Amino acid sequence: MNSAGVRGAAKMGRLLIHVEGETEEEFVNEVLAPHLYRNGFSKVSARLVGNARLRDRRGGIKAWSAVREDILKHLKEDPASLTTTMVDYYALPQTKGRAWPGRAAAGDLPYAQKAPTVEDALLADICDELGDGFYPIRFIPFVMMHEFEGLLFSDCNAFGRGICRTDLIGDFQAIRNQFASPEEINDSPETAPSKRVEGLVPGYEKPLLGALAAIEIGLDAIRAECPHFNDWLTQLETWPH
């Protein structure tokens, strides 16, 4: 990066996080933003990707082509800002016109390579579109492993308290104990983190209860248990702004 790029980066104080759904939006607003304001950002906001409020629940996250346009538009309109994503690896489209770069290839890779493979492919695609004048440090893709609910298993006691279901703490802990990290709770349609939670909490209201649980758990516990999440947050905290 040349000196002009460094000077441009040093002026960054605005962060836009493209999120998959309302649960992640609440997490950004209630948990991440206050923390990042203390780390020097002047503005932290969440934007639902691809009109997520309007999409059919059965349709999953929007095609990369639609999300890509949102990201490109923001990067072009606010050249002094930092942009990131917060989307679930689980159920990311991987075939035909809706495919996200790197997702199909990541499926056959060891766990540790899955999210980085998708993130590298997303960054490469955005850089290709914006050309040589774009500074890659302005876009940090983040793909959650395997989905947001996995983070809630970082502290099962706090999870139970946060959703007023302390009777389920033992059940949550039993799930957590099966994996080296909450981020490794898998992406099977039957055993993904959200499916496990819904099986224990009928009528689970994801945006409300997910946010309440995350607030109760706190960032410190999530960071300690979820290394990929911690790496992403560390990048945001140490960004030049």
User: pLDDT tens for residues 22-58?
Assistant: 999 999 999 999 999 999 999 999 999 865 544 444 4
Are 86 and 108 contacting, i.e. CB atoms less than 8 angstroms apart?
A: no
Size of the chain in residues: 241
> Where are the domains positioned within the chain?
3-146+226-237, 148-225
Q: What is the mean pLDDT of residues 205-234?
A: 96
What is the average per-residue pLDDT within 74-83?
A: 93
Give yes or no for a contact between 229 and 222, defined as CB atoms under 8 angstroms apart. Answer: yes
What does the block give as tokens for 136? Answer: 């890659």
Residue 58 pLDDT = 40
CA 124 to chain centroid, in Å, comes to 18
The stretch 143-149 carries a mean pLDDT of 95
* Percentage, residues of the chain above pLDDT 90: 80
pLDDT of residue 73: 94
| pLDDT for residue 188 | 85
The pTM for the full model equals 0.90
β-pair type (139-140, 143-144): unpaired
Asked if the bond preceding 146 is cis, omega within 30° of 0, the reply is yes
The pLDDT of residue 51: 56
Average pLDDT, integer, range 78-107: 93
